[in-house]
Structure 1
Amino acid sequence: MSAILSADDLNDFISPGVACIKPIETLPAQQPGDGSNPYEVTTEDKVAASNPPPAQISLTDCLACSGCVTSAEAVLVSLQSHTEVLNTLDAYPSLPLPWSEHRATNGYRNGIHNGLNGHSNGQGWNERDGKIFVASISPQSRASLAALYNISSGSAGHLIEQLLRGPSGLASGGQHGSHFAYVLDTNVCRDIALVIAAQEVEGTAKEPKKPILTSACPGWICYAEKTHPHILPHLSRLKSPQALTGTLVKSLLWKKYGIPPEKVWHLAVMPCFDKKLEASRAELTSAAWSGSGEPVRDVDCVITVRELLNMADARGISLPNLPLRSVPREKFPDMEIDRFLFPPGRRKRGVNGEDQAAGTSGGYLWHVLQSASAKECGSRVEVERGRNADVVEYRVVRDGVTGKEILFRAARYYGFRNIQNLVRRLKPSKTSRLPGAARRPGSHTSPAQTGSGDYAYVEVMACPGGCTNGGGQIKAADLGSLGAVEGGTLDIDMDGKGGVTDQRKLLAKVDEAYFSASSESEGEDSDENMDEFTDTDAMDIDDTPRVNGHGQRKFDGGHGKEVVNGISIRYISDVLRHWSDTTGIDIDTLVYTSYRAVESDVGKSKGKKTSDVERVAGLASSIGGGW
């Protein structure tokens, strides 16, 4: 599902089944006085000539019935696209940031200090009509663009920033010249996710049922909710980095600066189309953490890197010809959060060549392993490949007096074929109803005895190979149609055929860019931005050391900040505490979400044992319709 679902492939729409009531609800009702005879026999020709409007299916309708989910999801994917981004930019001017003097070249100074006051900014429009545009970029999307143009991941990040914020990008056109005020790196909020994921396993945070299964992949979550409800107690309740970024920005700007969530428009550039479905979830709106007001999405729109290229092409912008340097930025109003979102100096962290074992999906499992190993002196991580490259088992072991001692087990399952094997093993055993077949005490087969329940943690991703192989990434078959690519920049077939061999070569290039991201000087803040930080603003985290290969914990310069896998646990805890104190919302509400079983009622009786056919027919006849 994740690897093939595309907004460009909507011609395979399958009409909702007979048991789906949504199309019938949208049939036009008979109007009085229209000359129709209620006793007249209606023929098929007359019904066809009426040409009723098409059914409108929303996310709620889609999740209420799993009978036509594939078609409904394709429709949802089409609703979030680069066209929506451009239409929104054209509909709303960029709202001046109310906490700083505007330094742009348009000649006006913004003197607002306490939220939105409705004063005109001198350009003929009211500030209440604008929005603050914020974008967050995934490292996998940057890596895909880097492989396309044969540049580094840091340079690809600069291209995206120039497109979204730079004077030669989106700001150079459109009705209002609107642009994005901030372009964020989801790696920053990923650090929050990794720390809390380790705490879930250790039992110091909300703990799902063991084995804990990652929940950052929306394709996997959609599959589990609709087909395997017995898996839901195992799912981590932690929000993904995409959702955390949206919650962080919107909650802070609203609670501290009086900017309503609907005035902040958050775009996410992600590696897969299923992230659009995640952004559409009712659990990931302002209603989940504000407790009041009309629900506003934490992430308003999700596009992929392919759609990013389409957006640049639609505006006539040559993406590879944009400057390969960062754009001077505005400071986020909260200095503590500004230092967190835009780490100064060389503190920027990412997955590097030494951590390829972390995988291409954010390194959840690897961080959990390093944390588990750090708790035990003399322990080490052992890796064993499973039945294929997308099934890998991990053990934290220690040599004891009687031999090797296994302290912690974990695994990685990528791709739906492997996921199906995992969920089957975790399915509870059914109790036989035959007389005399009751199990003896202690004879029940638990998940721990089925071959997978002994895992404490499992990293699950829908796409084979992980997130760098997401459905929204640039494929080898796309290269021939991408006019921005110069021939010979990639050592793969450029004729657009995109064979398996070419795709593997391209994916290898993407992985190379992804793993080398943190060692690039391009990813650091430029000198022109460093003047925004004074000596009093500087933090004691610039020279944070990395953990060694055996997962042993280190401390940074005597400050007492425990560091695991390159992340200061104490610093992340301080950021979370500051976030909670500033907004007045408890940490659990900010960082956790929920999941629910989505069961189809097709074929099931309702109320007085009324069948679906009877219920649909009754509804149709009551509004003047029928079959």
Structure 2
Amino acid sequence: MSAILSADDLNDFISPGVACIKPIETLPEDKSNAYEVTTEDKVAASQPPPPAQISLTDCLACSGCVTSAEAVLVSLQSHTEVLTTLDTHRSLHTPWLAHSGTNGTKHACNGTHNGANGHHCGEGKLFVASVSPHTRASLAAVFSISEAEAGNMIAQLLSGPLGLKNGGAHGSDFTWVIDTNVVREACLVAAANEVVTALSPEASSTPLTAGSEGAIDTTPKKPILTSACPGWICYAEKTHPFLLPHLSRLKSPQALTGTLIKSVLSQRYNIPPSQIWHLAIMPCFDKKLEASRSELTSAAWLPHHSSSQDPVRDVDCVITARELLHLAAARNIAFSSLPRTPLPSSQRTPFPDPKIDAFLFPPTRRKNKDPIAGSSGGYLYHILQTYQAQHPGSSISVSRGRNADVVEYSLVRNSETIVKMARFYGFRNIQNLVRRLKPAKISKMPGARVGRSRKPGANGAAGGEGVKEYAYVEVMACPGGCTNGGGQVKVTEVEEVRAAEGIKAVNGDVVVARPGPKEQKEWLGRVDEAYFSGSGSDSEEEKVDRDGDWGMKDVDAPTTNGSSVPGADVVSGISRTHIWNLLSHWSDTTGVEIPKLLYTSYRKVESDVGKKKQSDVERVAGLASSLGGGW
């Protein structure tokens, strides 16, 4: 699922002749004369039936045609869809709003009624984009610029005077461009709280409710597995449902950003979520599948949601770094020619909630974590640092596994190992992890031992029962982590991209006729270098945390048992109290409980792969018998 997919080079679209798990809901009415006699030439001249229509949601309910289904679905979220939406709807900007100052009260649409009454504010939409640091790093490596400059160029494309608003039917553009690194800080704090709480003695003594595996209100069990990678989540749901109790319930930064902006903007501006259009620019195509999940819609958080209302997705469209370049080219914009400076602050529209505005747009740019934390957001390392803050005098030990994508982390103090965690990147390593977490089969033979099974690799690091000793495992589908996502610019495409932009070899690059795995590895090193070389200092980030008191009362980090997580408040430059203040304010603003905003659920997806399929004769016989007929 993490392979590079593009709507431009697909040749395996599903046709009605290909079996699909999706049931046929309705059949077209047959208006032809059943007794009409025709000739062979007329039959040959008849038009073939149209291709089957499959949505992203259908794909998530199917595991028998992954490649073909995803090929069809990628075209539904593409740069073409972004341009079509911008050309169809005018972007909503002030003064379309009746401002009420910065006291946090509601805004109303000028001359219109609330969307809940069926009247929207014209036909416009409020366009918001969120950008992943991995996408910025990929473009930074392509154009030999810093990650910060790449981010400025993306903002200039989406919101600047030389960007998408030129050439569009309505001059529509994006009102806000949000850095997901900011929202990721909330994810890191919530992830650490989830792990510490779930592994506490009180939680360990509470059994899971029957039939609640994967539910939003359940506590994950040890080892807790990352939930930020949608490719990994789809794999677990479809092939290994026994993993559902281990999955973290926390939303990814992409999903949490969507919930945040749609819930707050719809409440503050008094408009329905359907008038807010959220574009996410991410490193992999699997994020398109995540955006289509039925759990990540307004039905999960919108107060008084009616079953008759169609749920609105928290993320409307996902594109990648490559597609972003296609987006610029479609408007005849040379991405490399865009200004590398930030947009003037005088042109910035403040977020309608001043406290959330200060959080989403801090005065100091957030930088990525250190290389030791990995290139996928640093979940494991932040959780480990949280444990370290609770155990003064402890140190973090790092050891490599059987390859560079398997790393084991231990928190030790003197001769005591306090907690162990691990990182597994790439499906080859994930399969080894899953195999060692699989429950033992109970033999049906009389006299056989119960709960015993043979498992390969029972000895050594990250092997056998040792996997179950981990408190937390950071799992990512792509080898090398998120900077190596399927939507990133690959080494084989760099020269083509630069040629299209009119750029020759940069910084003495050696042009390789046919780049191979070695060149791709070296290229990934350059992307990682751009990812980890973000501007900003720890002292500056701490200053934001200390001075960022938005007038909210202090609250402790909540847990499921009502206690607070002990330890230092500031971990890796992120204040836990500061984040929970924001989350509490968000909950109070929207009237939605924090768990419904932060967490999501998972479900077992039935698959027919490897199962015996009914023949046409058997299907017809079953249909005839169900209708009372027979042979």
Fold-level similarity (TM above 0.5): yes
Q: Does residue 508 of structure 2 align to residue 486 of structure 1?
A: no
Percent of aligned pairs with the same residue?
62
Q: 2:239 is matched by which residue type in structure 1?
A: T
Q: Distance in 2 between matches of 1:359 and 1:211?
A: 19
Query: How far does the alpha carbon of each residue in 1:259-280 deviate from its partner, in whole angstroms, 9 at most, with x for none?
Result: 2101100000000010000001
Residue 596 (structure 2) aligned to one of 580, 589, 609 = 589
Report deviation, 1:28. 3.8
Q: Does residue 488 of structure 2 align to residue 473 of structure 1?
A: yes
Query: How far does the alpha carbon of each residue in 1:105-154 deviate from its partner, in whole angstroms, 9 at most, with x for none?
Result: xxxxxxx94246439xxxxxx94200000000000001111111101111
Query: How far does the alpha carbon of each residue in 1:414-441 deviate from its partner, in whole angstroms, 9 at most, with x for none?
Result: 00000000000000000000112142xx
Distance 1:17 1:211, change over 3 A: farther
Conservation of the 8 A alpha-carbon contact between 1:25 and 1:620: no
Conservation of the 8 A alpha-carbon contact between 1:605 and 1:612: no
Distance 1:382 1:48, change over 3 A: farther
Q: Which residue of 2 aligns with 1:576?
A: 583
Residue 361 (structure 1) aligned to one of 369, 376, 380 = 376
Q: 2:492 is matched by which residue type in structure 1?
A: A
Q: Distance in 2 between matches of 1:46 and 1:318?
A: 51
Report deviation, 1:41. 10
Distance 1:230 1:46, change over 3 A: same
Conservation of the 8 A alpha-carbon contact between 1:90 and 1:174: yes
Q: Does residue 429 of structure 2 align to residue 418 of structure 1?
A: yes
Unmatched segments (≥5 aa) in structure 1: 103-111, 120-125, 525-532, 542-559
Query: How far does the alpha carbon of each residue in 1:272-314 deviate from its partner, in whole angstroms, 9 at most, with x for none?
Result: 0100000011111101111333200100000001100001001
Conservation of the 8 A alpha-carbon contact between 1:279 and 1:302: yes
Q: Distance in 2 between matches of 1:303 and 1:295?
A: 22
Unmatched segments (≥5 aa) in structure 2: 101-105, 114-119, 204-217, 551-566
Report deviation, 1:322. 1.3
3-state secondary structure, aligned to 2:283:
coil
Residue 539 (structure 1) aligned to one of 515, 533, 548 = 548
Q: 1:92 is matched by which residue type in structure 2?
A: H
Q: Does residue 357 of structure 2 align to residue 350 of structure 1?
A: no
Residue 274 (structure 1) aligned to one of 276, 279, 286 = 286
Q: 2:534 is matched by which residue type in structure 1?
A: A
Q: Does residue 447 of structure 2 align to residue 436 of structure 1?
A: yes
Report deviation, 1:85. 0.2
Query: How far does the alpha carbon of each residue in 1:21-51 deviate from its partner, in whole angstroms, 9 at most, with x for none?
Result: 65966764321xx33318x799898388352
Query: How far does the alpha carbon of each residue in 1:209-239 deviate from its partner, in whole angstroms, 9 at most, with x for none?
Result: 1100001001111111111111111100100
Q: Which residue of 2 aligns with 1:145?
A: 139
Conservation of the 8 A alpha-carbon contact between 2:16 and 2:49: no
Distance 1:52 1:234, change over 3 A: same
Q: Which residue of 2 aligns with 1:162?
A: 156
Report deviation, 1:387. 0.3
Q: Distance in 1 between matches of 2:589 and 2:283?
A: 32
Residue 507 (structure 1) aligned to one of 508, 524, 527 = 524
Conservation of the 8 A alpha-carbon contact between 2:156 and 2:163: yes
Q: Which residue of 2 aligns with 1:557?
A: none
Report deviation, 1:254. 1.6
Q: 2:361 is matched by which residue type in structure 1?
A: F
Conservation of the 8 A alpha-carbon contact between 1:261 and 1:286: yes
Q: Distance in 1 between matches of 2:617 and 2:568?
A: 64
Report deviation, 1:376. 0.7
Q: Does residue 48 of structure 2 align to residue 54 of structure 1?
A: no
Q: Which residue of 2 aligns with 1:226?
A: 238
Moved more, 488-497 or 580-589: 488-497
Moved more, 320-329 or 176-185: 320-329
Q: 1:74 is matched by which residue type in structure 2?
A: A
Q: Does residue 83 of structure 2 align to residue 64 of structure 1?
A: no
Report deviation, 1:601. 4.5
Q: Which residue of 2 aligns with 1:82?
A: 79
Report deviation, 1:510. 1.0
Query: How far does the alpha carbon of each residue in 1:478-507 deviate from its partner, in whole angstroms, 9 at most, with x for none?
Result: 123211162221554446633323322221
Q: Provide the alpha-carbon RMSD of the alignment.
A: 3.4
Report deviation, 1:53. 1.5
Report deviation, 1:257. 2.6
Conservation of the 8 A alpha-carbon contact between 1:136 and 1:183: yes
Q: Distance in 1 between matches of 2:396 and 2:474?
A: 16
Query: How far does the alpha carbon of each residue in 1:191-214 deviate from its partner, in whole angstroms, 9 at most, with x for none?
Result: 111011111111169630110000
Q: Distance in 2 between matches of 1:258 and 1:289?
A: 16
Q: Which residue of 1 aligns with 2:35?
A: 37
3-state secondary structure, aligned to 2:467:
coil
The TM-score, its normalising length taken from structure 1, stands at 0.82
Q: Does residue 291 of structure 2 align to residue 284 of structure 1?
A: no
Distance 1:571 1:16, change over 3 A: farther
Q: Which residue of 1 aligns with 2:247?
A: 235
Q: Distance in 2 between matches of 1:612 and 1:571?
A: 62
Distance 1:174 1:67, change over 3 A: same
Report deviation, 1:5. 3.6
Alignment of 1:358-397 (within 5 A): 358-397=373-412
Residue 598 (structure 1) aligned to one of 601, 605, 620 = 605
> How many pairs are equivalent?
562
Moved more, 455-464 or 594-603: 594-603
Q: Distance in 2 between matches of 1:309 and 1:405?
A: 51
Q: Distance in 1 between matches of 2:122 and 2:178?
A: 24
Q: Which residue of 2 aligns with 1:333?
A: 352
Alignment of 1:195-274 (within 5 A): 195-203=189-197, 207-274=219-286
Query: How far does the alpha carbon of each residue in 1:163-212 deviate from its partner, in whole angstroms, 9 at most, with x for none?
Result: 00001101112100000000000011101110111111111696301100
Q: 1:336 is matched by which residue type in structure 2?
A: K
Q: Distance in 2 between matches of 1:180 and 1:137?
A: 12
Q: Which residue of 1 aligns with 2:326?
A: 310
Distance 1:363 1:42, change over 3 A: farther
Q: Distance in 2 between matches of 1:397 and 1:538?
A: 34
Q: Distance in 2 between matches of 1:509 and 1:174?
A: 35
Distance 1:15 1:429, change over 3 A: farther
3-state secondary structure, aligned to 1:128:
coil
3-state secondary structure, aligned to 1:317:
coil
3-state secondary structure, aligned to 1:141:
helix
3-state secondary structure, aligned to 1:79:
coil
Q: Which residue of 2 aligns with 1:551?
A: none
